[in-house]
Amino acid sequence: MLQRMERDGWIERRRDETDQRLVRVFASEKGKLVRSEARRAFREIEEELNSIFTETEQATLKALLTKLYTHCAPGDPLPRHFWRPFDKQGEESE
């Protein structure tokens, strides 16, 4: 998969500066642009969906979805799909 992504210009591989045995994978400019566009689209969808719920309803929905996630993926050490809001620049906030 990485070979195809590299061939199509989505990623680039670079040798680690301190350990030449390691090859690191980075998003290319093309990949970063698509990621930025996708985050913007998700942010717009999130804003539209949140506009139909009150703050209390949003909190309830988040609690219910978190409970469902915890039940479906117990003990997941890396919650890959856990909701994290975006800041104004489109970066995930911690």
Segments making up each domain of the chain, as ranges: 2-72
pLDDT tens string 19-58: 999 999 999 999 999 999 999 999 999 899 889 999 999 9
Query: Is the CB of residue 14 less than 8 Å from the CB of residue 61?
Result: no
What DSSP line would sit under 6-53, residue for residue? HHTTSEEEEE-SS-TT-EEEEE-HHHHHHHHHHHHHHHHHHHHHHTTS
CATH number for the domain running over 2-72: 1.10.10.10
Q: pLDDT confidence of 14, banded at 50, 70, 90?
A: very high
pLDDT tens string 70-92: 888 777 765 555 555 555 554 54
- pLDDT tops 50 at residue 94: no
